[in-house]
Every structure is written in structure tokens, then in C-alpha cells.
């Protein structure tokens, strides 16, 4: 039976250091050849930097609730203050291990509201998730189109830990020009039986695939994937919010 | 900064129908050119078929406990009997939606103990997960080596649903010749700061990447990935069991 054609995954190199207000789409278009039909997977961190979502810890004044949780978790109360400000609910809190898993204002369930809180000894600032990561993906797509006339799909991704399994896997937190779910339900399988549950989290699988060419010690924020043309659509679409379970529809919060 | 070289993902076509006792490694070696340094990602279903993990429902006699749960979930009691036999614990049960999430004897937390229980009206039988999916990966690796003299890494994968997010993503349930986790903890990042939490679930990301070339309606069980040579090791290694959280180390069961 035929497969769907080969996919190639390419780390885009030669990007400049990303600062506030930076036109990421134009920088990507400068650094790589881009076609409509490509998918660009971009690390959240550079998107957040371009959107000025970097906070100096010396500017943070923790409230009483943050002080209390920080004490319980043995963590920096300024970081806890930021995590709480980015969240609508605490999902799990583990004092002995210092773990805080929350539901962010976007609806993501992840550790530390997606704030990279490692290296606090050496670092003066932390990076928050984009305010609206689907909007970020749409904006970058628009920037690329303005520069090149092409409309690739854009995914903004971050590495999240998982229930039940050690380690992090890259997932999509924003997308434009691609549907987050590839829904086969109702279609016949090769035996003619109806697929009843097959609904593939395709943007998450693409985010994970892109991560495989990243060198974690040197920074590779942008990855280009080819061979996924069948997923790329002209309209920006629903974005990643469509793949988030509501608390009512979720057995694990 | 340099990336890590391109990756290419290729669906292996021309495999025969897989039956009991089938030498999967030899069939894969016949159908595709394979080098040491390649990663082969293989769908659980064909592995289970080769290992005779197919059960005719007419052979299953449900016990009283299975009958009771089947009633509560409005599901086939023979399938519930098989799910319970494959599991060591029920993690979540949702009567109105008919959902049963268990911990399998391997330690996987997933719906229906990984049994593909759709299409029961049309189908006479169901496919269970391999008894030991790491052993399956090692065996297939050995079969390929016997045939070709090369030692690619082998991943056995299945699509699992996730907490918090709709849709399924392909994950590794067995592996040989590759470490399940790519651990960067303790290494310096590009700024010289120490990476404290970075531990990438690389076999799961590879399983997800491989799934992107699969056509769900026509069957594409075997996918070859190139450009991941740095992850492929001579020894078979710990297998996927090393990436499973124990219940004590898990906040979500």
C-alpha cells in the first residue's frame, strides 16, 4: 500500500539574535528558502522574546499567596508569582519535589505555566509563553507572506512534560495554516471497516518531529518541514486552542 | 548556530500481509534498503499479529467483574474482559462516555490497555499489545541483522490518547538500539547556563515523526528515518520501560 511521500526536516541556521519587536517572519525568509506547502516549526522562546514576554525577576513583587506556595515548594517566590499570574488553576502541586503544574490562561496544562525557570542562579530574567500563541503563528505567517508571497503553515511549539512518562516532548502551542487535528473518524480503513477513534494530533506530531533536529546546547529555534503539503491550507484556521480539552472533557485535572 | 543535519522520513512500501510467526525483520530488509544508523519505526499492530496476539472474541468468556464494568460503560463484556486481563490497575473509568483507561502489565497508561476495540460490529477479533514490546524490538533488530548485517535502531509504536489534549499521538512502546531519553541535564546551554530539566523523550518524538507519513486508510506499518545516526547505538539498551513513571513518581494516576 502506498505511503504518503517522504518528509524532510531541516534546521534553519543563520538567524540573528532575536530581540523585542523583531520581524521573525522576515528573518526566517532571509535565512531559508520557503515554499507554500512547507511547515515552519518555531520554538516558543524566540517568539516570546520578539513579543517582549521577558520579565526581569528584580521587577517582580510576590504576593502573600505566592510566598506561601514558594515556601511549600522550596522555590523562588518571584517565579511562583509569575506562574500564578499566568494561570487560571493549579492542577497539581508536589511540595517535596517542588513541582507546580497549572492550567494557563490559554488552557495549556503544563509545569510552571510554561515558564522556563531553570538556571535562576545565573539568570536575571525569565521568558513567559506568548499571550496568544495562535495569534503569534498567524502574525509570523503574515510576515513571511509579506516578504516572500508564500503562505507556509506556521507552528509555535514548546517542550512539555507528560503524565505517565518521563521526559519532555515538543508540542504545538500555536498554529496557522494547518488544522491541529487530522480527523479520520468515519472513514473506511483498508478492510472497509469504519475508523471510529482515529483523530491524529498532527501539529503535535510535527512539533515533535521538528525537535529531532534541534541541538539543545546551541539553539535551533526554526525548523522547516517538507512533504506535509496535504496538511497546509490557505486559511489560518482554528489554531491550537481547538485541540485543548475543557476541564469537563478531561479525566486528568 | 548549527543544526544537527537533515532528517528524512520514508514509508516502507511493498510489505506482504503479516501473519503469525512472520519474520518481520526479513520482510523489512527485503522491502527497503537499510543501513546501520537508520531508525525503523514499526506499528504495534503488525508486530502483535506476527506474535499471534490476535484474539477471537468468540473465544472469550467474560467474568463477573468484566460483565459489571461492561454494563456500566455500555460496552462489549468480552473486550472488557481482555482489557482487564491485560491490566494491573484501572486508572480512570467514565461510564457515560464508555472510557476505560488502565495501567497495562507493561506499565503503559492508555485507553483500553492498547486494544484496538473499534469496529467490533464488523470484526471478529481484536489485537492485543505485544507481551514484551522491548523484546519485540530486539527480536526484529536481530532479524534485520541476520538478513543484512546492519544494526539499525528499531522502535515499536502505538497511538495513545493524552491527558489535556484531544487526539492521539504516536508513542514508542518498545525500542532497541536507541536510548528512550536524550538527557541534556547538566550540560551547558548556548549562554553557558546549565540545563537543569532538559530530558527529551526522543523515541516518542521519533514515533510521532514516523506517523506523519502513514496513511491511516491504507496501512503503512513500517517507516524508515535517516539522519538520526547520533541516537543509534550498538547495544540494544534499556528499552522503553526506562521511560515509564512508576505510580509513586506520577501525579496523574
Subunit contact B228:A212, Cβ cutoff 8 A:
yes
Same domain, A137 and A212: yes
- CA B135, distance to chain mean position in Å, is 12
Q: Mapping DSSP to helix (H, G, I), strand (E, B) and coil, where does residue B204 land?
A: helix
Q: Name the closest residue on chain B to residue A14, using Cα atoms.
A: B1
State the smallest CA–CA distance between residue B94 and chain A in angstroms: 8
- Work out whether the CA dihedral B141, B109, B223, A11 comes out positive or negative: negative
pLDDT over 70, % of chain B: 94
Per the model's pLDDT, the better-predicted residue between A209 and B192 turns out to be A209
Q: In terms of DSSP bridges, do strands A153-161 and A39-43 run parallel, antiparallel, or are they unpaired?
A: parallel
- Is the pLDDT reported for residue B83 higher than 50? yes
The mean pLDDT of A185-194, rounded to a whole number, is 75
User: What are the pLDDT digits (tens) for A144-164?
Assistant: 999 999 999 999 999 999 999
Residues of chain B positioned with their CB less than 8 A from the CB of A49: none
Subunit contact A1:B181, Cβ cutoff 8 A:
no
Alpha helices in B6-132 (DSSP H): 24-31, 44-50, 64-73, 77-85
- Is the pLDDT reported for residue B1 higher than 90? no
Query: Is A70 a member of any domain?
Result: yes
Same domain, B133 and B24: yes
Residues of chain B positioned with their CB less than 8 A from the CB of A184: 216-217
User: What are the pLDDT digits (tens) for B163-188?
Assistant: 999 999 999 999 999 999 998 888 87
Q: Name the closest residue on chain A to residue B120, using Cα atoms.
A: A193
User: What are the pLDDT digits (tens) for A33-92?
Assistant: 999 999 999 999 999 999 999 999 999 999 999 999 999 999 999 999 999 999 999 999
Domain hosting residue B16, numbered range = 8-52+129-244
Q: Mapping DSSP to helix (H, G, I), strand (E, B) and coil, where does residue B31 land?
A: helix
Subunit contact A204:B167, Cβ cutoff 8 A:
yes
User: What are the pLDDT digits (tens) for B141-152?
Assistant: 999 999 999 999
Residue B188: what pLDDT?
78
State the smallest CA–CA distance between residue B149 and chain A in angstroms: 25
Q: Which helix (H) or strand (E) holds B239?
A: none
Question: What does R_g of chain A's alpha carbons equal in angstroms?
Answer: 19
Same domain, A22 and A142: yes
- Is the pLDDT reported for residue B2 higher than 50? no
Same domain, B153 and B213: yes
Q: Mapping DSSP to helix (H, G, I), strand (E, B) and coil, where does residue A73 land?
A: helix
The β-bridge partners of B171 are B158
- Is the pLDDT reported for residue A117 higher than 80? no
Residue B184: what pLDDT?
83
- Number of inter-chain CB pairs under 8 A, A vs B: 279
Subunit contact B245:A189, Cβ cutoff 8 A:
no
Q: Name the closest residue on chain B to residue A206, using Cα atoms.
A: B209
User: What are the pLDDT digits (tens) for A218-252?
Assistant: 778 999 999 999 999 999 999 999 999 998 889 99
The CATH number of whichever domain residue B47 belongs to comes to 3.30.1330.100
Residue finishing a domain among A76, A111, A127: A127
Task: Place A208 in a pLDDT band, splitting at 50, 70 and 90.
Answer: very high
Query: Is B137 a member of any domain?
Result: yes
Residue A131: what pLDDT?
98
Residues of chain B positioned with their CB less than 8 A from the CB of A204: 165, 167, 169, 208
- Is the pLDDT reported for residue A2 higher than 50? no
- The shortest CB-CB distance from A118 to any of B109, B197, B215 is to B197
Task: Place A120 in a pLDDT band, splitting at 50, 70 and 90.
Answer: low
Query: Is B81 a member of any domain?
Result: yes
Q: At what angle do helices B77-85 and B64-73 cross, to 10 degrees?
A: 120
The number of folded domains in chain A is: 2
Same domain, B96 and B187: no
Same domain, B141 and B224: yes
Query: Is B3 a member of any domain?
Result: no
State the smallest CA–CA distance between residue B114 and chain A in angstroms: 13
Query: Is B2 a member of any domain?
Result: no
Query: Is A75 a member of any domain?
Result: yes
In the block, residue with C-alpha cell 483500553: B112
Residues of chain B positioned with their CB less than 8 A from the CB of A253: 163-164
The mean pLDDT of B217-221, rounded to a whole number, is 80
pTM of the model: 0.95
State the smallest CA–CA distance between residue B143 and chain A in angstroms: 23
Residues of chain B positioned with their CB less than 8 A from the CB of A187: 216-217
User: What are the pLDDT digits (tens) for B224-252?
Assistant: 999 999 999 999 999 999 999 998 889 99
The CATH number of whichever domain residue A80 belongs to comes to 3.90.1660.10
Same domain, A26 and A74: no
pLDDT over 90, % of chain B: 82
- The CA distance from B136 to B134, in Å, is 5
Query: Is B251 a member of any domain?
Result: no
ipTM of predicted complex: 0.95
Residue finishing a domain among B103, B127, B151: B127
Task: Place B116 in a pLDDT band, splitting at 50, 70 and 90.
Answer: confident
Amino acid at each position: 500500500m502506498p505511503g504518503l511521500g517522504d518528509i524532510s526536516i531541516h534546521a534553519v541556521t543563520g538567524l540573528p539574535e532575536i530581540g523585542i519587536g523583531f520581524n521573525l517572519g522576515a528573518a526566517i525568509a532571509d535565512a531559508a528558502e520557503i515554499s507554500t506547502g512547507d511547515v515552519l516549526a518555531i520554538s516558543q522562546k524566540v517568539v516570546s522574546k520578539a513579543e517582549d514576554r521577558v520579565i526581569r525577576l528584580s521587577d517582580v513583587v510576590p504576593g502573600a499567596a505566592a510566598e506561601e506556595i514558594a515556601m511549600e515548594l522550596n522555590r523562588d517566590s518571584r517565579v511562583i508569582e509569575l506562574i500564578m499570574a499566568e494561570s487560571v488553576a493549579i492542577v497539581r502541586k508536589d511540595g517535596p519535589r517542588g513541582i507546580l503544574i497549572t492550567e494557563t490562561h490559554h488552557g495549556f496544562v503544563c509545569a510552571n505555566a510554561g515558564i522556563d525557570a531553570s538556571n535562576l542562579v545565573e539568570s536575571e530574567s525569565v521568558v513567559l509563553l506568548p499571550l496568544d500563541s495562535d495569534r503569534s503563528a498567524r502574525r509570523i505567517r503574515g510576515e513571511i507572506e509579506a516578504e516572500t508571497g508564500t503562505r507556509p503553515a506556521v507552528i509555535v511549539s514548546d517542550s512539555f512534560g507528560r503524565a505517565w512518562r518521563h521526559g519532555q516532548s515538543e508540542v504545538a502551542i500555536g498554529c496557522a495554516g494547518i488544522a491541529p487535528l487530522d480527523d479520520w473518524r468515519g472513514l473506511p480503513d483498508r478492510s472497509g471497516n469504519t475508523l471510529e477513534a482515529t483523530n491524529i494530533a498532527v501539529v503535535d506530531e510535527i512539533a515533535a518531529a521538528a525537535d529531532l533536529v534541534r541541538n539543545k546546547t546551541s539553539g535551533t529555534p526554526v525548523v522547516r518541514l517538507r512533504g506535509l503539503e496535504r496538511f497546509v491550507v490557505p486559511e489560518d484556521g482554528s489554531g491550537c486552542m481547538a485541540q485543548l480539552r475543557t476541564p469537563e472533557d478531561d479525566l486528568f485535572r
